[in-house]
Amino acid sequence: MSLTEAFKHDLVSRGIPAAHVAVVLNGFDFARYTPQPRDMSLTQQLGLEGCCVVGYIGTHGMEHALDRVLDAAALLRDTPAIRFLFIGAGALRDALIAQAAQRQLDNVMFIPAQPKTRMPAYWSVCDLGGQSLYHP
């Protein structure tokens, strides 16, 4: 099983017969994730008032190339109105936190994985959504 056509292509290129790989796309709950006003209480709680927030919510794994997002944060470190918000868990989460600390990226914030019920509030504080940078 694969989560994307690109992952299936990668598996097939490694010799697995295409007929043996099914693509099961992630579902999306349109009722839960509709555009909504910024959650000002959460914005204040996170200290993000007046900031443009680049958010990444999801798995912090090798295939997501999140170190590139930290590179962008480093380039923008002298622009205090731009903040980077990482929410989630994964194999590289601790390494990313350590890398951000070592690079003194005060414009980056890490939040542990949250329940799905909290995701609309977290997405509402994000002005831009970061995507995985994985390319097979």
pLDDT score of 130: 64
Q: Is residue 74 part of a domain?
A: yes
Per the structure, the count of domains in the chain is 2
Could you tell me if 109 and 89 lie in one domain? yes
CB of 32 closer than 8 Å to CB of 119: yes
Q: Is residue 136 part of a domain?
A: no
What residues make up the domain containing 43? Answer: 31-129
pLDDT score of 51: 97
Mean per-residue pLDDT, 42-53: 97
pLDDT reading at 135 higher than 70: no
Could you tell me if 106 and 125 lie in one domain? yes
Q: Is residue 22 part of a domain?
A: yes
Q: What is the pLDDT of residues 81-99, one digit of tens each?
A: 999 999 999 999 999 999 9
**In angstroms, how far apart are the furthest CA atoms of the chain?**
52
> What CATH number does the domain containing 49 carry?
3.40.50.2000
> What is the spatial distance between Cα 115 and Cα 88, in angstroms, rounded to a whole number?
10
Could you tell me if 40 and 18 lie in one domain? no
pLDDT score of 134: 44
Could you tell me if 22 and 35 lie in one domain? no
Looking at the chain, the whole-number percentage of residues with pLDDT higher than 70 is 91
**Mean pLDDT of all residues in the chain?**
89
Could you tell me if 51 and 113 lie in one domain? yes
How far CA 60 is from CA of 8, 32, 71, 136, in Å, comes to 21, 23, 15, 17
pTM summary value: 0.76
pLDDT reading at 136 higher than 80: no
Could you tell me if 61 and 97 lie in one domain? yes
pLDDT band at 6 (very low <50, low <70, confident <90, very high): confident
